[in-house]
Structure 1
Amino acid sequence: MNLDKKVTGIILAGGKSSRMGSEKGLLLFENTSFIKHISNALQPLIDELIIVSNNPQYDKFKGRRVPDIIPDSGPIAGLHAGLLHSKTENNLVLSCDVPLITTTLLQKLLPQKKEDYDAIIFESKQQTIPLIAMYKKQCAEKCAQFLANGEKRLRKLISELNTKTITILEEEHFFVSNINTPEDLKIITNGVNH
């Protein structure tokens, strides 16, 4: 593991969680909050953790909480705030609803050499996963342009960045699952116990 890389972990926890009905990052899976599962996976790879959220309940977690700079503007606003507050070029950015993510998987996103990409993102089942990705700090500028134009679609942002895509194995798909609804939570709870 190459630990001399300076990397910031950024967890986006500012979503509305409308489908779940409660704050996703604070939900429990195996008696541990989603946010804690994610920060545990990030910890061996990062120097600092930033949690982007307006909710002071996240202050109890190890990490620095920062609010969205441009409120109610979706994940691009969260990415923008996290990158602006980051002190490092490389940033592992995750949404707060991927509690199954592992350190081993995240390690694949770290640039292997002096790679000149704005972002390194996973792809699984022909879908890119822009909220489990490595973003360079310079992407904050592009986020600001998008937000100024009222554009909130993260995939649109990705299409305009110089991006490297890493396809993950079929058996790894489970680890990148978004847990958006109470049904999703039931599935993983049952799945992990079997």
Structure 2
Amino acid sequence: MEISVGILAGGKSTRMGTNKAFLPFKQTSFIESIAKECKDFSKIILSVNDLEAYKNIGYELVRDEKEGFGPLEGVYQILKKADTEFALILAADMPYVNRIFLNKFCSCLDNPELLKNGKGEMPYCIVLCADNMLEPLCSLYARKALPYIEQMREREEHKLRILYERVYTKYIDIEDLGYTKQIITNINTQEEYKKIIDIN
């Protein structure tokens, strides 16, 4: 099954003090590094807060219509732009995410019978979990969830967990994929960034 990838790079990076997406990492930047790990997917879409800043990056861009609405708005804009049934949504600041891990996670779509509920329907969301915590920004979303997200936007509801409660959502534990939560760790502060740079 073809899958689009949406990378959320529209956050304010308040705690970091600068745009995390463009921080140097592995001879490139965070955003370019994670996009490189997504090369097996059919399309890469970036959700950004400044179209001009990303105009030369070479990927399709979307921008929030509803300001200050958080990741839900980015998911919404990416799903509208995607031309595949599912889109993998990722945060731009996950330094450990790699191609093998992403492909293994998304391979769950190759076994639809294991994903269907008792009514025989496929999930609207396939959400990764680690240590009983949800990771909404390394999860799969179906385009058929768009009407529900539109309703949430109208109601000023911006938490992705509300979406999970309203549609059929399948949860996958990261340990069942053979990984720990470290692979989906993100970077929020200069101190965390320095540790990553020292390791790499």
Question: What is the correspondence of 1:1-194 to structure 2 with a 5 Å cutoff?
Answer: 5-44=1-40, 46-55=41-50, 56-110=52-106, 111-114=109-112, 115=115, 116-169=122-175, 172-190=180-198, 192-193=199-200
Whole-angstrom CA distance in 1 between matches of 2:191 and 2:179: 21
Q: Counterpart of 1:23 in structure 2: which amino acid? A: N
Query: 2:119 — aligned with what?
Result: none
- Other structure's SS at 1:71 match: coil
Residue ranges of structure 1 left out of the alignment (5+ in a row): none
- Moved runs in structure 1, 4+ residues, more than 6 A? none
Deviations 1:90-109 (A, max 9, x none): 11111111122111211233
- Other structure's SS at 1:145 match: helix
Please report how far the alpha carbon of residue 161 of structure 1 lies from its aligned counterpart in structure 2 after TM superposition.
Answer: 2.8
Q: Counterpart of 1:9 in structure 2: which amino acid? A: V
Provide the alpha-carbon RMSD of the alignment.
1.7
Q: TM-score, normalising length from structure 1? A: 0.89
- Other structure's SS at 2:93 match: coil
- Higher mean displacement: 161-170 or 15-24: 161-170
* Percent identical residues: 30
Residue ranges of structure 2 left out of the alignment (5+ in a row): 116-121
Whole-angstrom CA distance in 2 between matches of 1:150 and 1:82: 19
Aligned residues: 187
Q: TM-score, normalising length from structure 2? A: 0.86
Does structure 2 retain, via aligned residues, the 8 Å contact 1:37–1:100?
no
Does structure 1 retain, via aligned residues, the 8 Å contact 2:26–2:33?
no
State the structure with more CA Rg. 2
Whole-angstrom CA distance in 2 between matches of 1:10 and 1:150: 22
Does structure 2 retain, via aligned residues, the 8 Å contact 1:27–1:34?
yes
Does structure 2 retain, via aligned residues, the 8 Å contact 1:74–1:152?
yes
Whole-angstrom CA distance in 2 between matches of 1:161 and 1:105: 26
